[in-house]
Structure 1
Amino acid sequence: MAHYGNPQTRYKGDRTPLTEADLASHRVLVEGLSRLTPVLPILSEESGVPEWEVRRRWSRYWLLDPIDGTKEFIARNHEFTVNVALIEGGRPVLGVVVAPALGQCFSGGPALGAWLSQGAERVALSVVSRAAVPRVVCSRSHPSPELEAWLAPLGQVERVAVGSSLKLCLLAQGKADLYPRLGPTSEWDIAAAHAVLIGAGGSLSQLDGGELLYNAKASLLNPHFVARGAE
C-alpha cells in the first residue's frame, strides 16, 4: 500500500497502465512462491511469458496477477486486487484474491470450499439462488456494446458495477447472479477468483458452455465467458 497514495504510472506496449505497485507486488509474490515451491513454474502478468513449447509441458504451476484493476488502483476507488492461483491440469485448484484497500481476502478452490477473511472474521462463502431480477456484474472500466446485446433477451436486470476480479468474488458471496464477459481478458485476470467461485458452488464456462481451461493454447487470452452463481 506504500504506492497507493502516489502511483508512478507508465504504459506497456498494449497501452495498459503499469505502476510501481504492480512490479513491487510481482517481486514479493515471486520471491515468496519460489521459496515455498521451488520446483513449480510461476507465470505472472509482469514477467516474460515463456514460449508455448515450454509452457505446454507444465502440468502444475502458479498463475499470478500482481495487481488486477490497475485503473482502479490509479483512481483510488479501492477496487483492485492481488491474485494468486494454483493451476493443475488446466484447472484452477486454489485461488487467493486479496483486496488490500478493502481489507478483504478471498480464498478457496473446488475441493476446499470458499472463504472470506476480513480482520479477525472468517466466513464461508456460498452462491445463492438467482434473484427474480438477475443481478448482473458489469465492468466499471470496460463498457461493451456486445454485452448490451447479450443482456437484451434477459429483460429487466439489476446492474452491479465493480472493478477487477472482485466481479467473480461478488458471485461467490451471493451478491450477484451473472457475470458475462464479452471483452478481452487474460488468464491471470480470472484464475484465482475462478477457483474461489467454484469453491462457493458457482461456475464459469465459455459462452457456448464449453469448459474454460488454462494454458491450453499458445495465447493467454481468454475466450468470452459467463460466470454464474446458483441456477
Structure 2
Amino acid sequence: AFIAEGELSEKWSTGDQAGIAIRDQLFSNLFDSYKRENYAENTTVQVGVTLADVIFDKQNDIMDSRVWLQLSWTDNRFAWNEAEFPVSVLRVPAEKIWRPDVFLYNRAKPSLNCYAANALVYPNGKIWWEPACRLQTYCNLTLASAPYDEQTCAMRFGSRTFDGAMMGLELWEQGNSTLADVSYFINQKYRITKNEAIKEEEFYGCYMEPCHTVLFTLGFQRVFEGGPTCANH
C-alpha cells in the first residue's frame, strides 16, 4: 500500500524515538555508578597497528608515521542483556570510559598525538577503540645506500603502570594475521620490505610480574623515481 510522505516520516520518527529512549536508559544503567578512574581487573588488551603513511626525518633519526591504533579489551561493567536492551553496539566518547594506558615506548614526543574517536561497546562488555594517530618514533636511519636507502624501524607499545598479570598485552589478530595492517599504506617514495610483530615479556625492578610489550617492526625501501640505473651498459 502507498504510504504518504508525512506518514512515513512519522513512522521513522516513532522508531527513532523508541531507539533513543532505549539507548538513554541503557546509558543511565551503565554510567550512573560507573567510575572511569577505576579499572577492570586482570584484563587483556589486544593491540594492533594499521599503517597509512610515513615520513623519515633523517636529521633527527625519527620515523613520522600516520596510523590507526587498534585497542580492544573487555570491561564487564559494560555488559548488558540484549533481550532487555535490544542494542547491538553503543558508540561512546572514549574520554568517558577507562582506557588502558598503552603508550609508545620509543616515542620521540612526550605524548601520542591521536584524534578523538568513539569507542564501540558491545553487550558482552567487549570494547573496541581505533583512534587515528600521528606517531613519531626514534629510528636509526641510514643513507648508506642512497638513493636506494632502506630503513628498518620499530614501534614498541606497553603499559605505563600495569604489569602483565594486571593488564596483559596481546597482538591483535585479523584474518589469522597479527602483523601490522599495511593494506592502506600509500607512499610514492617507499615500499614495504619487512613486516614483523612479536609480544615480549620483561622483568623490571619494581614489578613482581613480567611487563608485556608488543613490537611492530617495518622495513622500507626507497622507490627510485628514475628507475634502475644501467651503469654497466
TM-score over 0.5 (shorter chain): no
Q: TM-score if structure 1 supplies the norm length?
A: 0.24
The answer to which structure has the higher strand fraction is 2
Higher RCO (C-alpha 8 Å, min separation 6): 2
Q: TM-score if structure 2 supplies the norm length?
A: 0.24
The answer to which structure has the higher helix fraction is 1
Larger Rg: 2
